[in-house]
Amino acid sequence: MGSAEKIRILVVDDDEVQLSLIVRWLQKLSNESVVVLATSNVNEAIGRAIAKEFDICLTDLDMPESNGIKLLKAIKDADPLTPVILMTAIDSRNALESSLAFGADDYFLKPPSWQDLLSSVDFQIARLKRFRHDFPS
């Protein structure tokens, strides 16, 4: 991966206010090597996963038309190495266990601590860059 290659982060949340907040926050706090994409539609996100249009996904777990587990499975089926960070307002051990069982890379209760979320995103970016350096395509 060349140093100029940007990391693409997809944010998925059915709450437009929350979606906008997370996108603006990531754009403001991230460096220029990150592009932030957004959608409130799980099926669109699944299509983007299949087309490999992003490198990292931050997604809500509970959405009316579908859920984050369905999206998580689709992302991991398309590329098992794509990091997925789940966020939810539901404080449930079952949701946490299901998320981790299907390959979630991190899990946050809403509203997340912005610093913790940024640390998780930074960790996933560093992991991706290290993997791409060690195993170029």
DSSP per-residue letters across 23-50: HHHHHHHS-TTEEEEEES-HHHHHHHHH
Question: Looking at residues 74-83, what average pLDDT do you find?
Answer: 94
Domain 7-132 maps to which CATH number in 3.40.50.880, 3.40.50.10800, 3.40.50.2300, 2.70.70.10?
A: 3.40.50.2300
Enter the pTM of the model: 0.89
What torsion do the CA atoms of 67, 68, 71, 77 make, to the nearest 10 degrees? -130
pLDDT, one tens digit per residue, over 12-45 is 999 999 999 999 888 876 667 889 999 999 999 9
